[in-house]
Copies of this chain bind each other. A is one copy, B any other.
């Protein structure tokens, strides 16, 4: 009797695979087989089993296949305000941001702004990203619709949003979780804007839900000098100390920015398994400062990369962030060997996966993991010749080199064409919103 044929959804072959698995294999003329939402097999094209029934074959000779990038911090719908408040002091930036947000972050606008963000992220090889913003239900729905993997959840804050609405309320948060916790494309979390824009009651609410549900917690922490002062005035402590006291550090906590950390705090993050989302563009552009990433990595802190929002960046380009991270740390430490390319590429992939608590599911091209992949064209002049792929990925490649993207086993971009989002219409709608923003 003949062996039963195995049914495979997609086989991608003929490319160089950067696995980011435990052995950090680079497979020349590699192939990946995808069944459902997962990677079933990774190996050499020549070793592909011949008895497979394959629905879709993608031959990518000369291309480079990488794990999809994980953007661990952002405010997606701020695409609507991209470049609207540049080169200004932080106070001016915040005032402008809060003014346009109060007027424009309606559910409809946040939806289209977030759709634009997903287009930009997919174009840049990002397959999973965290968002922190108002109208998080709308954004979650938009991500599910687009087939984009999202980290999202209710966010506690005292800042007034659209029409003056402030924080998530406790019952509203639970309702969101009840709806989306079993949704495969949404990794639910509880968020808190920061220790200076919340109060102790909010921290308690957040903490209670986190404990009950075993969720990821995300907050901004130690981003700027003014935050450090505000938190000191309010609590007589640093943001990290406030979070520790509230029981909000640990292996399911992800802190964005962490520009101002003492040696003891770096050790504390490492000990507790707390992760960091490093956002170099935003920290530089808003003149917040430069995070001690080299020291964090040395201490064993899990560091991931975030773009932050496109109003302080001004794009959602993980390659820009990685290059900045690698270069700036060398420049300020005076040591050209810190944060070598492979370490930084790990931060863009596995580091992000670990930071969001999915270190065994995402971030590597390996059988059993979710099929989140990006395929890059390395034929470009600026990538010629290629002695070291990691080096090119961090120091020379860019979003424009990404040509195909797979998320959860589904091809969402093919030959640079978006398959799940109507790019033309979304851009037109965002431009119309921008026309209104200009009038404010």
Please report A residues at the B interface, Cβ cutoff 8 Å: 79-80, 82-84, 86-90, 93, 116, 119-120, 123-124, 225, 281, 283-290, 310, 313-317, 320, 323-324, 326-328, 330-337, 340-341, 379, 381-382, 384-388, 391-392, 395-396, 398-400, 423, 427, 430-431, 433-434, 437-438
Contacts and interface: CB of A to CB of B under 8 A. Distances in A.
Contacts of A388: 83-84, 86
B281 A384 contact: no
A317 B434 CA distance: 29
A328 B123 contact: no
How many copies the complex holds: the figure is 2
Contacts of A324: 324, 327
Given A88-B337, A332-B290, A337-B88, A430 B323 contact: no
A400 B90 CA distance: 31
Top 5 nearest A-B pairs by Cβ distance?
A400-B400, A385-B434, A284-B331, A87-B340, A284-B327
Given A123-B381, A315-B395, A316-B382, 9 more contacts: A79-B384, A82-B384, A83-B386, A83-B391, A86-B341, A90-B336, A285-B330, A285-B395, A286-B330
Contact of A327 (B84, B119, B285, B396): B285
B290 A83 contact: no
A88 B391 CA distance: 12
Given A82-B387, A120-B382, A315-B382, A287 B336 contact: yes
A90 B283 CA distance: 27
A403 to B, nearest CB: 12
Contact of A330 (B284, B333, B336, B396): B284
Given A315-B382, A336-B285, A384-B116, A82 B327 contact: no
Contact of A286 (B88, B89, B336): B336
A289 B334 contact: yes
Given A89-B336, A337-B88, A395-B86, A384 B328 contact: no
Contacts of A79: 384-385
Contact of A381 (B89, B285, B384, B423): B423
Contacts of A423: 381
